[in-house]
């Protein structure tokens, strides 16, 4: 039977038979994401410079080899410079019409530059950073914030549905990264506010459980208080109940707050609270004992301090 031509035919074939996926960057996040795609029946060829592998995926010996026959190439890399260098390698090797789907958290400028490079080579391009952390990557419950064309989003949608529970199309290239850093700037600022309020409450003799009971149902409520409470033994289970083992590491929060400040500078946006949060996480990670701890470990930091 003849199949209709065009995008519908391509999508039908892909859904029917599974896609060929190249996956570059098989670290803490990338390896479980790739494994979930393979488990769902897609053919996944992975590559990582560190030689790591993902369950159910073939292993390539280079990024180019992973990308060559792929319908979609997913990258999950540490930063924008590495993304740019990987894109320089793989874009010329990808087949026309394929989609380059970057899920890393990178600066908005790098996301837009890589998208432009991919589009000029006849490829679709999406920036789709995630929230949900390592647990979300393993459980297939990530949230994707996506920038790029509607056509590329439609092609990647079935993959988002496997790796995550929600994908929001935020507009053109770079807008996924913009959404991610704005969200995480709010997260960093509210975590600090929640921690310093707990430390103040301690010094005023207010019981932490009473503080939680009031704030979590009053106008000071927030995700950091209600869902990820930084005080051990209070509220739902969180990294505070596990010795502040991440969770979401303070180092990664610092990375995202830096990206937010970089974007604010290039867009001439006034972000004083974001700047203060970045400075505080920088001190915590670089000069105190914050590196490798969850970002909610700001609470024990404040606990031990006075006003100077």
Closest CB 76 distance from ligand NAD, rounded Å: 5
- Which residue sits closest to ligand NAD, CB atoms considered? 27
Tell me which residue has tokens 């974007």.
Answer: 263
Stretch that binds ligand NAD, among 77-85, 91-99, 109-117, 275-283 (CB under 6 A): 77-85
134 forms part of the interface with ligand NAD (CB under 6 A):
yes
So which residues are the catalytic ones? 180
Tell me which residue has tokens 């935020």.
Answer: 170
DSSP label at residue 172: S
Stretch that binds ligand NAD, among 73-81, 195-203, 204-212, 281-289 (CB under 6 A): 73-81
Closest CB 85 distance from ligand NAD, rounded Å: 6
- One of 14, 59, 109, 133 touching ligand NAD (CB under 6 A): 133
28 forms part of the interface with ligand NAD (CB under 6 A):
yes
> Cα–Cα distances in Å, from 252 out to 47, 55, 76, 248, 294?
23, 25, 14, 7, 9
Angle at CA 146, nearest 5°, toward 145 and 151?
155
25 forms part of the interface with ligand NAD (CB under 6 A):
yes
Site for ligand NAD in 45-64 (CB under 6 A): 47-50, 52, 63
- Decide whether 2 or 50 has the Cβ nearer to ligand NAD: 50
Angle at CA 228, nearest 5°, toward 144 and 233?
155
Q: DSSP for 233-291? A: TSSS--GGGGTT--SSBHHHHHHHHHHHHHHHHHHT---HHHHHHHHHHHHHHHHSS-T
Question: What count of other Cβ atoms lies within 10 Å of the Cβ of residue 147?
Answer: 28
248 forms part of the interface with ligand NAD (CB under 6 A):
yes
Is 94 in contact with 120 (CB distance < 8 Å)?
no
Closest CB 145 distance from ligand NAD, rounded Å: 11
For residue 55 the two structure tokens come to 């369950």
Stretch that binds ligand NAD, among 3-11, 72-80, 227-235, 270-278 (CB under 6 A): 72-80
CA distance 205 to 186: 28
Mask 199-238, x = binds ligand NAD (CB under 6 A)? ----------------------------------------
Residues that bind ligand NAD (CB under 6 A): 24-30, 47-50, 52, 63, 76-78, 82, 86, 104-105, 130, 133-134, 248, 252, 255
């Amino acid at each position: 039977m003849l199949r209709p031509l065009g995008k519908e035919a391509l999508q039908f074939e892909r859904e029917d038979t599974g896609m060929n996926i190249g996956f570059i960057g098989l670290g803490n996040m990338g390896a479980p994401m790739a494994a979930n795609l393979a488990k769902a029946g897609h053919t996944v060829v992975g590559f990582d410079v560190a030689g790591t592998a993902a369950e159910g995926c073939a292993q390539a010996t280079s990024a180019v080899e992973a990308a060559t026959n792929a319908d979609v190439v997913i990258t999950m890399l540490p930063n924008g410079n590495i993304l740019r260098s990987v894109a320089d390698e793989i874009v010329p090797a990808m087949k026309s019409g394929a989609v380059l789907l970057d899920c890393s958290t990178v600066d908005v400028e790098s996301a837009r530059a890589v998208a432009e490079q991919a589009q000029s080579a006849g490829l679709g391009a999406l920036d789709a950073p995630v929230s949900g952390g390592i647990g979300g990557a393993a459980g297939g419950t990530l949230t994707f914030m996506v920038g790029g064309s509607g056509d590329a989003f439609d092609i990647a949608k079935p993959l988002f549905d496997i790796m995550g529970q929600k994908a929001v199309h935020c507009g053109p290239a770079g807008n996924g990264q913009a959404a991610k850093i704005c969200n995480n700037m709010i997260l960093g600022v509210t975590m600090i506010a929640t921690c310093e309020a707990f430390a103040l409450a301690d010094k005023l003799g207010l019981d932490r459980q009473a503080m939680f009971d009031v704030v979590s149902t009053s106008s000071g409520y927030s995700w950091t208080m209600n869902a990820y409470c930084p005080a051990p033994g209070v509220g739902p289970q969180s990294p505070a109940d596990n010795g502040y083992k991440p969770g979401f590491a303070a180092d990664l929060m610092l990375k995202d707050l830096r990206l937010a400040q970089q974007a604010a500078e290039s867009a001439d946006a006034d972000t004083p609270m974001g700047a203060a949060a970045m400075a505080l996480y920088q001190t915590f990670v670089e000069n105190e004992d914050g590196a490798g701890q969850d970002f909610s470990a700001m609470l024990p930091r404040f606990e031990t301090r006075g006003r100077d």
